[in-house]
């Protein structure tokens, strides 16, 4: 494989949540970057400095670097042409979506396959293709063979895998200052060159202390899915303990606090509530199970079925708790839902527990009104039959119960006494265990939370 310039030019294929953030961050690190997306509306918005989703700090980076904007570095451009992207870059990051396959647990690889098939014929000179999407283990080897078949440059086009570990709400920080950088490369000269190129790409965070781990391709693919499986397990574990606490009269918050002092366990992800959602954890653990079955190792991940079951059970439990709170029937009741995004500091409503619960309550006869600081437009598109309000006060107007389902700071800072003036009955159900029960009870609210005593 031929040598390349010491300062590689970068392209990013797919400019959704992962790709747009990665492209803007690479420009911030000083690289010339071209972002590609097949959706012209998305590339036009990005070229105007507008992010395709809410992510703190992302639009500031875009405005700082998108070519043509006043005061920008001009290092970041966008296109819908694979030919232009191939010509503009030496290192091509593939950041397209890998959703759950319809009707199955398995991962839908069609977007990744389409990106490789569209890019490869235009790779007429040495290049490195780097997968960042979360894929089933074994995909990289298959895609490497596909690149070798389709790229005119043949074996001078190498493939590496560099999984992403972004937290929505902290994606810019996680890209610029990652807690670790993992790259999977093939054996031989092509793998050595891929490692050198990626060390150049990540030179700044590595110099700041970010660990740089080099593995084989299968291990790199497994890191992200294994990490998500572990996080899911920890979340569902504490939610299972919440079920035990409810049965035994215990307090899951005090239990989690005591567990967290054990440094073998730690405090993170021990917040009991309505469970996890979003575009990663649920579909990734299911795809992991499906792939293990294909590899003949289904029993190794059979525990993830129970993890998934516990997680989904929390949503139903919140619906039942709401019904109980309002007298045994939801028909004709007014329910306010605070939160639509699957987590705070995001407008992402994919597999959102909050919206799932709101939808279930609505189907059981209640009038449900939702408010979220950022996710209203996305929520309305997904659940148009729900009602939406422009503020928390308007959402709770006339409500028989208020459900706190996304832990936005705005909701933690609400004045319970002031909010109580708008509702029909002062019932609050804390689905995230982050409100102050003392403050709400002092304002004459009946406060209830998953896994905690009623008083």
CATH class in words for 10-215 = alpha beta
| C-alpha–C-alpha distance, residues 256 and 241, integer Å | 9
Residue 2 pLDDT > 80, yes or no?
no
CATH class in words for 216-455 = alpha beta
pLDDT, tens digit, for every residue of 157-212? Answer: 999 999 999 999 999 999 999 999 999 999 999 999 999 999 999 999 999 999 99
| C-alpha–C-alpha distance, residues 351 and 201, integer Å | 33
Residue 225 pLDDT > 70, yes or no?
yes
Ranges of each domain in the chain: 10-215, 216-455
Q: What is the pLDDT, as a whole number, of residue 454?
A: 83
Residue 4 pLDDT > 70, yes or no?
no
The residues annotated as belonging to the active site are 280
pLDDT, tens digit, for every residue of 319-376? Answer: 999 999 999 999 999 999 999 999 999 999 999 999 999 999 999 999 999 999 999 9
Residue 154 pLDDT > 90, yes or no?
no
Across 409-431, average pLDDT: 97
CA 453 to chain centre: 32
87: number of Cβ within 10 Å: 16
pTM: 0.92
């Amino acid at each position: 494989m031929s040598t390349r310039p010491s300062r590689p030019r970068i392209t990013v294929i797919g400019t959704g949540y992962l790709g747009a953030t990665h492209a803007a961050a690479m420009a911030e690190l000083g690289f010339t970057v071209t972002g590609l997306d097949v959706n012209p509306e998305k590339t036009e918005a990005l070229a105007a400095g507008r992010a395709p989703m809410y992510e703190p700090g992302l639009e500031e980076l875009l405005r700082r670097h998108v070519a043509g904007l006043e005061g920008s570095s001009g290092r970041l451009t966008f296109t819908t042409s694979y030919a232009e992207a191939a010509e503009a870059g030496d290192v091509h990051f593939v950041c397209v979506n890998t959703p759950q396959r319809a009707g199955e647990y398995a991962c839908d690889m069609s977007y990744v396959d389409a990106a490789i098939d569209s890019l490869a014929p235009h790779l007429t000179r040495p290049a490195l293709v780097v997968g960042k999407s979360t894929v089933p283990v074994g995909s990289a080897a298959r895609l490497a063979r596909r690149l070798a078949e389709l790229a005119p440059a043949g074996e001078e086009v190498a493939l590496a895998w560099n999984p992403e570990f972004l937290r929505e709400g902290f994606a810019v920080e996680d890209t610029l200052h990652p807690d670790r950088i993992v790259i999977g490369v093939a054996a031989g000269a092509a793998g050595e060159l891929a490692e050198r190129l990626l060390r150049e790409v990540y030179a700044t965070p590595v110099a700041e202390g970010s660990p740089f781990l080099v593995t084989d391709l299968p291990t790199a693919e497994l890191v992200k899915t294994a990490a998500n499986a572990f996080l899911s397990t920890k979340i569902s574990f504490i939610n299972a303990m919440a079920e035990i606490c409810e049965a035994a009269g215990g307090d899951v918050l005090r239990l989690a606090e005591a567990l967290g002092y054990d440094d073998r366990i730690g405090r993170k992800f021990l917040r009991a509530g309505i469970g996890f959602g979003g575009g990663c954890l649920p579909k990734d653990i299911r795809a992991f199970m499906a792939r293990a079955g294909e590899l003949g190792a289904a029993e190794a991940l059979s525990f993830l079925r129970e993890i998934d079951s516990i997680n989904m059970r929390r949503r139903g439990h919140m619906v039942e708790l709401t019904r109980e709170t309002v007298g045994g029937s939801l028909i004709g009741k007014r329910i306010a839902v605070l939160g639509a995004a699957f987590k705070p500091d995001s407008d992402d409503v994919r597999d959102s527990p909050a919206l799932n619960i709101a939808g279930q309550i609505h189907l059981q006869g209640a009038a449900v009104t939702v408010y979220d600081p950022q996710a209203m437009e996305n929520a309305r598109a997904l659940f148009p039959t729900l009602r939406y309000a422009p503020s928390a006060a308007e959402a709770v107007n006339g409500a028989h119960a208020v459900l706190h389902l996304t832990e936005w700071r705005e909701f933690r800072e609400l004045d319970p006494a002031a909010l109580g003036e708008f509702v029909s009955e002062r019932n609050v159900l804390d689905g995230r265990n982050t409100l102050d029960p003392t403050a709400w009870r002092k304002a004459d609210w009946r406060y209830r939370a998953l896994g905690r005593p009623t008083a």
